[in-house]
Structure 1
Amino acid sequence: MTTHHGRQARILDDVRRERDAQDARFGVQDLPDGTHDVFRSLANQHRDNCDAAFKGGNGTYRHVFLEEVFEAVAETDPVRLRAELIQAIAVGVKWVEGIDRREGR
């Protein structure tokens, strides 16, 4: 059985390989963030959906992940955007961990 940290290391290695593949395909890209406070209402909606789902006993990784992603796209301050992206990425890794546990990896 894979340990918690071993599973995370394998997933992060997968992420590194994907990033290498992206750079090989597209080169290093410096794109604009594309975030805007116009997305705040969507972020609030996803937070409310997430809260309601967990309150009702129906919370899923999708609820948490979308809440974090929309909080990121609504953030225009670079420091807070970075923090929100780290949270979204961490939830994505947590989701993959759950998939791997179910699959016995």
Structure 2
Amino acid sequence: MDDRLIISMTQCFFIAFGVIVGGTIIGSIGSYVTGEAPLTAMFRIAKGLRIWAIVAAIGGTFDAISNFEKGIFDGSTFDLFKQVMIIVAAMGGVKAALLLFEWLLGEEVT
């Protein structure tokens, strides 16, 4: 396996993790300022940021689509495999962040 693939997967994992953690914490501060319950807002914000964290981690949707196209139509199966693995790594970062909030807050984020 290419070393650059491992590097890209690691970066995507932590970008997605950071989007969820940072967005949820900063968003809950905003909820506190406006008088809402910050812990309840954390669950809502974390749930809403899931797809955006994956999109931010893979660098936008058009690059992913073009890599899928290159993998399918040009016969470059490694590019297709690489893109799938990057998306899986981003999903892992999102799941790890959600598990962190479940552990800290004691409730399940659904």
Q: Same fold (TM over 0.5)?
A: no
Structure-1-length-normalised TM-score: 0.34
Select the structure with the greater relative contact order (CA < 8 A; seq sep ≥ 6).
Answer: 2
Decide which structure has greater helix share.
2
Structure-2-length-normalised TM-score: 0.33
